[in-house]
Amino acid sequence: MSLWQILTHFQEIADEHPDRHGHGSRDTGTPGYAASVAYVAGLMRSAGYDVRIQPYDYRKFLHGGAVVPKTGEPVELSTDRRSNIDYNVIADSPFGDPNHVVVVEGHLDSIYGAGMLDNASGSTSMLDVALAMAKTPTRNHLRYVWFGGEELGLLGSRYYVKHLTKGQLRQIVFDVDVDVTATPNYDILIADPANARRAKEFPPNVIPESKVGNDYFTDFFRRAGVISRHGNNNGTDSISFSLAGVPNTGILTQQDCCKHDWETRLWGGFLGNYEGKIPSFNGGCVDRRRRWCDNLDNNNRSILELTTKAVASVTYNLANRKFRR
């Protein structure tokens, strides 16, 4: 299955589950999101992964009253028009040392519609890497997690990390965040926790120990003859891991507005919107209420392929690295 076929299927899911105004939707709490969960879980189970669907009441969690669900039991996905239940998809490889876990994660939910760039693109990259590595033995254990509720405030990743035991948290040696991987008017940015607004809140190990993952991304792009720069992980699910003391890296190709002159000198393209109408300064599609234009055509095939190869390379290297933790 090609990258574009996977991404196209997310568009089909959105179109098959319109909101009350007739716009395709994969937002948290909607049938489109539940269908996205079922799609990812089905592919991962078929590939041989141990898949769990972790439900939680996102409205209660949003207000601090969540209860830990019995995640060991089968979960029936809600198909209500709007549900209070959200889901994380957790898929564990059969290979690798379970005391040294590398998490590869991104968010599956959208906001204001189909969410094809943000973040069906990253979800597609993760699926492609996971399916390609399904039969590949590794030194460390690989866990892929598609989070819900990111657009509402990193709810899925916050819930997941909060409900790990101390022992389970210590087992996670690294986190790779995959959020927006196919921007048309792109940058190539490595999500570095050192540049985060909340960096001073991270435990002291996080920034220095994240360097290895950042370097793997840098090395991949250098070998590919592509310029990359360190960005930040503001607003991505890796923040939840940073705050818990887990070193991390990630990939971002940008969204909304506005691309500056120095960026066009590095990567070409146009001033203004990273996506949506290009060139333009109207703010793009992703985070614009009632614009409904973050669809399949809001993605760049070649950038999706490039960044997915980068994620695959970094994942493989981290999965086979000898960690001291």
Q: What number is the average pLDDT over the span 164-187?
A: 98
Helix (H, G, I), strand (E, B) or coil at 31: helix
pTM of the model: 0.94
Task: Decide: 58 and 34 in contact? Cβ < 8 Å.
Answer: no
Strands 248-252 and 50-57: unpaired
For residue 32, pLDDT beyond 50: yes
In sequence order, what are the residues at sequence separation of 6 or more whose Cβ sits closer than 8 angstroms to the Cβ of residue 171? 98, 99, 100, 101
CATH of the domain at 222: 3.40.630.10
When divided into structural domains, the chain yields a total of: 1
Is residue 260 situated within a structural domain?
yes
Q: Which domain holds residue 96?
A: 3-319
Reported as a pLDDT band with limits 50, 70 and 90, residue 73 is very low
Q: Whats the size of the chain, residue-wise?
A: 325
In a domain, 325, yes or no: no
Residue range 224-244, pLDDT digits in tens: 999 999 999 888 999 999 999
**DSSP letters of 244-289?**
TT--EEEEE---SEEE-HHHHHHH---SEESSSSSS--S--STT-T
Whether 119 has a pLDDT exceeding 50, the answer reads: yes
User: Are the C-beta atoms of 90 and 141 separated by less than 8 Å?
Assistant: no
Q: What tens digit of pLDDT does each residue of 42-67 get? A: 999 999 999 999 999 988 776 665 44
Is 92 inside a domain boundary? yes
d(CA 238, CA 213): 13
Does 324 map to a domain?
no
pLDDT in tens, 260-304: 999 999 999 999 999 999 999 999 999 988 899 999 999 999 999
* Residue 33 within any structural domain of the chain: yes
Q: What is the predicted pLDDT for the residue at 20? A: 87
